[in-house]
Structure 1
Amino acid sequence: MSQESSSYQKLHKPSSSFESRDDYLNHELQIISPKRWRLNLPGKDYRVEWEDFIPGMAATIGKIVMVAAVVGAFAAPLGLSPEFVIENVRFELLIAAVLFVVLISGFLNPSANLAGTHGPLLPLVPLMVASGGHPMALGLLIGLFGFILGITKGGSILAKLTSNGVCGGLLLYLGFIGITGQVKKLFAWAESFDMAYLAFVVIIATILMYAWLEHIQKRWLAIPLGAVMAAVIALAFGAPFEFTTSPGMPNLNPAYWWGEDTGWQLGLPDWSHFIAVMPFAVLAVAMWSPDFLGHQVFQKLSYPKKSERAHMNIDDTMIAASSRQAVGSLLGGGNISSSWGTYIIPASIARRPIPGGALVTGLLCVIAAIWGYPMDLAIWPPVLCVALVVGVFLPLMEAGMQMTREGKTTQSAALVVISSVVVNPVFGWSLTMLLDNIGLVGCKDRAIELGKAGRWLIPGVTFIVLCTVMALIGMFPGVPALMETFRL
C-alpha cells in the first residue's frame, strides 16, 4: 500500500524506533495527511508532542500582545479605559481558542493555519476611527472580502505569481523592520526608569543565546529560553514588574459589547459605517496574500522533503481567518484577523504540523484569559520583545536570505525593500510583483512562462486596485487622502 493511500495510524512509528528525535519529527511531517473540512482526531490523524508547546507558548504571548495593541488602538480615540481593553482581549482569547483555533485548525481542517491578528494594519486603526469607522462594520467586510478571495482561490493564485525574489525581499524587509521596532521599544522601556543599559544587556544576551542555540541545532528553544532569560535578567537588575490582572471571566454577552452605553458604546453600525471602512477592509484582505505566502514559504524552507501535505493551504487559511473575523466581530471582539505568524513560524522551526500545536495554543489561551496573571508577564517588554525577535523576526530575515541566494532574485528583493520603505509592504509587494512578472527585473525566462494573465493582467489589476485604495485613505507620503479631498 502506498504512503498516500495509507492512514496516519498505519504509518506512525514510536520515536524510540528512530535514531534521533529529529528523524522522528521529520517522519511525522512526511506521513501526516490532514483531511480538509472533515473531522481529524488526535491519536488517529496526528499526535500532540512536547515540541508543540513551543509554538503554543509563542502564539499565546503574541496573541495577547497583538490583540491588546489592536483593541487599544480602537479604544484610545474612542475614550475607552485600559480596563475595557483588558476585558476585550480576554474575550478575544476565548473566541480564538474555543471557536477557531481548536475547532478549525485542530479538528476540522489542519491545513488551515490558526487565525491570528493583522499586525501590519495596526497603524491605520486610528485613521479608521477618525474616518467614522466602526469595529463591527470593519470586521464584517473583512470577513466577506476574505471569504470571497478564499473560495475563489485568489490567494493561492497571487502566491504563485510571487517569485522567490519578491517574497524573499518582503521577508527581509518585514524581519528587519520588526527587529528594529522591538529594539526601540526595549530601549524606550528601559529608559523610562533610567536603566537604558539594561536593554543593551538583554539584547547582547539574546544574540549570544541565539548563536549558541543555532550552534547546537536547538533553535526551536529560542522563544521559551529567550523569554525566561530576559525576565530573569530584568528582575535581577531590579526592573519594575507587578501582576495586576486578576483571575476571572470576561463578559460573554454580545449585547453588552455592542450596546449604546456599554462595551464599545457605539451601538450597531449603519450603512455610513460600512462605507467609511470599506477601503480599509479591501487593503486588509489584500495584505493577506504576501503575509500568508511568507508563512507558507517558511514552512517549505524548514520542513523536510516529501512533507507537502503538512504545509498550510493559503485559501483554506483565508476562509478560516474570514470566518473567525466575522464571528468574532459579531460577538463583540475588536481583533483584526490574519494568519497567525507567532504560531506558524515557531511551529516550522520546531518542525511540527499545525494541529497538535493548535490544541496546545487553545488550551494556553483559555488559561491565560481566565487566570489573568500570565497576561501581565506576556506583555512585559523584555519578555515580549525578546520572544518576538527570536521567534518571528530573526527567522523571517533568515528565510528571506535563503530565498535570495540564487539567480537574479536579488534585483527583485532590492526593489521590494526600497519601495516598501517609501510607502509600505503592500505597495512594495504589488509593484515589484508586476515588474518581475513582466520581465523588467528578475528572471526573464520565468516571465515568459507565466502567460498574459500571470505576466501583467492579474498583477496589473492588483497593483491598480491597491494603489486606488491607498490613495483614498492617504497612504502615499505627501499626498492628501482622496477621501478627505472629495469628502467621501
Structure 2
Amino acid sequence: MNSDSHSTSYQDSHKPQADFSSREDYLNHELQIIQPKRWRVNLLLRDYRIEWEDLVPGMAATIGKIVMVAAVVGAFAAPLGLSPSFVIENVRFELLIAAVLFVILISGCLNPSANLAGTHGPLLPLVPLIVASGGHPMALGLLIGFFGFLLGITKGGSLLAKLTSNGVCGGLLLYLGFIGITGQVKKLFAWAEGFDMAYLAFIVLIMTIVMYAWLEHIQKRWLAIPLGAIMAAVVALALGAPFEFVTSPGMPNLNPAYWWGENTGWKLGIPEWSHFVAVLPFAVLAVAMWSPDFLGHQVFQKLSYPKNSDKAHMNIDDTMISASTRQAVGSVLGGGNLASSWGTYIIPASIARRPIPGGAIVTGMLCIGAAVLGFPMDLAIWPPVLCVALIVGVFLPLMEAGMQMTREGKTTQSAALVVISSVLVNPVFGWSFTMLLDNLGLVGCKERAGNLGKAGRWMIPGLTFLILCFVMALIGMFPGVPALMETFRQ
C-alpha cells in the first residue's frame, strides 16, 4: 500500500470488488482506505459503504442487545416488584433510544471512530446490591455518564490502555472468554434440563463445535453467528424443544414523565441527593471496568484487521464519551440500561473485517425493527439461539485473541496472574493488580517496565489499583471481607 494512500478521500480511493482477486482483499482494502471524521458528518457512499457482511455484526449486536438489556432491566425490576411486562416495555424503549440517538446518529454518522454504546454486562451481578443499597437507576446512570465523560475527555481511558501490556490484556481476554463459555454452557443445559431433555443441549453444543471448526477450515468464521443461531434453532425445534412467540407488535411509552412517575413506570420518582450518595461507589467501579473492556475490544480489532488499517480501529476515548453520553441521556429519558462498549457488535465486526459505521446503520435498523415488531425479541432470547450466538460470536473469539497475544516473550507470566487474580476477586481487580506488578517489572518483560518512566511504572497503575480496591472494599467485593458501607452504617 502506498504511503500516501490516506492523502486522498475514501470516495476517491474506493475500488469495485471486480478489481480484486478475492473478497477478502476487497474487504481489507476498505479497512485500509476508510477515513472516519471525528465529530463531523460522515455520509454513506461518500465516507463508507454497507456490505452484506455487515449483517453479521448487526444480527449479533441485536441479539446481544435484547438479551443484555433485558437482563439489566430485569435485575433492577425484580427487587422493586415490577412485572415482566414492564421489563419488555423498557427493553423496547431502550432499543429505540440506542438505535436512533446513538447507534445511527453517533457511530453511523457523527463519529465512526466510536464503537457502539452497548450494555455493561460485568456490572449485572451488582444490580441487586445497588437496589438494596437504596440506589436509583437514574442517579446511577447520571453518575456513570459524568465519570465516564470525564475519563473520556481527559484521555484517561487510552492512557490506561497504553499501560496495559500484551500479557495482561491477553490474560484478561482468556479469562473473560473461558468464563463466558462456561456460563453459556451451564445456561443451555439448565434450560434443557427444565423439560427433561438435557441431551438436547449436548447435541446442539457438539454440532456448534463441528460447525465452528468447519468454518475455521474454510476461513469463513465470520458466518458463525448467523449459521450457529439458525442451526441451533432448527435442531432444537426438530428435537421437540418448546417455543412460542408471545410479544406482539407495538410501540413503547416514549414519555420520560411516565417512566419516572411516582405511580407509573419505575414508580420511583425523580432521584434525591441520598440516591446519588448510595450509588457513588458503584458508578466509580462501573467506569473503572470500562478500560479493560474497551481495551479488549480495540485489541481484537488490531488482531483481526490487516496492516495499515489504524483509522478503522475504535478510539477508546471517543467510545467512552459516546457511551457516557448515551448513559446519561438514556437514564434521563427513562431507560434502565447500563452502557459500555458494545462487545457483541465489535467482535463479530472485527471477524467479518468490517469497519464500524456500515454495521452501525444495519444494527440500528434491526434494533428498531425488533422493538416495533416485538416477536423477534422472543427468538433472540430463546436459550439455544442466544447461547450459541454468544459462544461462537463473542467468547470463543475472545479466547483465541487472548491465546494469540500470549504466544511470545514473557507474556504468559502476566496472563496467568491476571487469570488467578480475576478468579480470586473479579476481572477489574485482576487487571489493575497485574498491570501494577507487570509495570513494576516484577513479572513479564522487565525491559518494557524500565522504559515506562515513574508515572507509567508505578504512579498511575498504583493509584488506579488503590482507588479500585477502596471502591470494591466499600461495596464488599473482596471474598470474606465485610462491606465497609455496612460497617459505616452500623
- Cα separation, 2, equivalents of 1:5 and 1:31: 10
Q: Report sequence identity in percent.
A: 86
Structure 1 residue runs without a partner (length 5+): none
Q: How does 1:235-274 map to 2 (within 5 A)?
A: 235-274=237-276
Q: What per-residue deviation string (whole Å, max 9, x for no partner) do you get for residues 126-174 of structure 1?
A: 0000000000000000000000000000000000000000000000000
- Cα separation, 2, equivalents of 1:487 and 1:449: 45
Alignment partner for residue 308 of structure 1, among 304, 307, 310? 310
Q: How does 1:466-485 map to 2 (within 5 A)?
A: 466-485=468-487
- Give the secondary structure class of the aligned counterpart of 1:4: helix
Alignment partner for residue 83 of structure 2, among 73, 81, 84? 81
Q: Which amino acid aligns with 1:11?
A: S
Q: How does 1:24-173 map to 2 (within 5 A)?
A: 24-173=26-175
* Map of 1:407 onto structure 2: 409
Alignment partner for residue 200 of structure 1, among 192, 197, 202? 202
Deviation at 1:470, TM superposition (A): 0.2
- Cα separation, 2, equivalents of 1:33 and 1:486: 52
Deviation at 1:395, TM superposition (A): 0.1
* Map of 1:190 onto structure 2: 192
* Map of 1:181 onto structure 2: 183
Alignment partner for residue 443 of structure 1, among 438, 442, 445? 445
* Map of 1:216 onto structure 2: 218
- Cα separation, 1, equivalents of 2:360 and 2:92: 18
Q: How does 1:364-403 map to 2 (within 5 A)?
A: 364-403=366-405
Q: How does 1:449-460 map to 2 (within 5 A)?
A: 449-460=451-462
- Cα separation, 1, equivalents of 2:253 and 2:406: 48
Deviation at 1:2, TM superposition (A): 2.5
Structure 2 residue runs without a partner (length 5+): none
Deviation at 1:4, TM superposition (A): 2.0
Q: Where does structure 1 differ by over 4 angstroms across 4 or more consecutive aligned residues?
A: none
- Give the secondary structure class of the aligned counterpart of 1:83: helix
RMSD: 0.6
Q: Which amino acid aligns with 2:448?
A: R
- Give the secondary structure class of the aligned counterpart of 2:183: helix
* Map of 1:14 onto structure 2: 16
- Cα separation, 1, equivalents of 2:446 and 2:59: 44
Q: What per-residue deviation string (whole Å, max 9, x for no partner) do you get for residues 28-79 of structure 1?
A: 0000000000000010000000000000000000000000000000000000
- Cα separation, 1, equivalents of 2:290 and 2:17: 37
- Give the secondary structure class of the aligned counterpart of 1:446: helix
Q: What per-residue deviation string (whole Å, max 9, x for no partner) do you get for residues 461-483 of structure 1?
A: 00000000000000000101000
- Cα separation, 2, equivalents of 1:393 and 1:421: 17
Deviation at 1:16, TM superposition (A): 1.0
- Cα separation, 1, equivalents of 2:95 and 2:180: 24
- Cα separation, 1, equivalents of 2:67 and 2:439: 37
- Cα separation, 2, equivalents of 1:67 and 1:222: 23
Q: What per-residue deviation string (whole Å, max 9, x for no partner) do you get for residues 406-434 of structure 1?
A: 00000000000000000000000000000
Deviation at 1:211, TM superposition (A): 0.1
* Map of 1:337 onto structure 2: 339
- Give the secondary structure class of the aligned counterpart of 1:402: helix
Q: What per-residue deviation string (whole Å, max 9, x for no partner) do you get for residues 384-421 of structure 1?
A: 00000000000000000000000000000000000000
Q: Which TM-score applies when normalising by structure 2?
A: 0.99
- Cα separation, 2, equivalents of 1:411 and 1:271: 46
Deviation at 1:275, TM superposition (A): 0.2
Deviation at 1:487, TM superposition (A): 1.1
Q: Which amino acid aligns with 1:177?
A: I
Q: How does 1:274-353 map to 2 (within 5 A)?
A: 274-353=276-355
- Cα separation, 1, equivalents of 2:96 and 2:489: 39
Alignment partner for residue 427 of structure 1, among 426, 429, 445? 429
Q: Which amino acid aligns with 1:116?
A: G
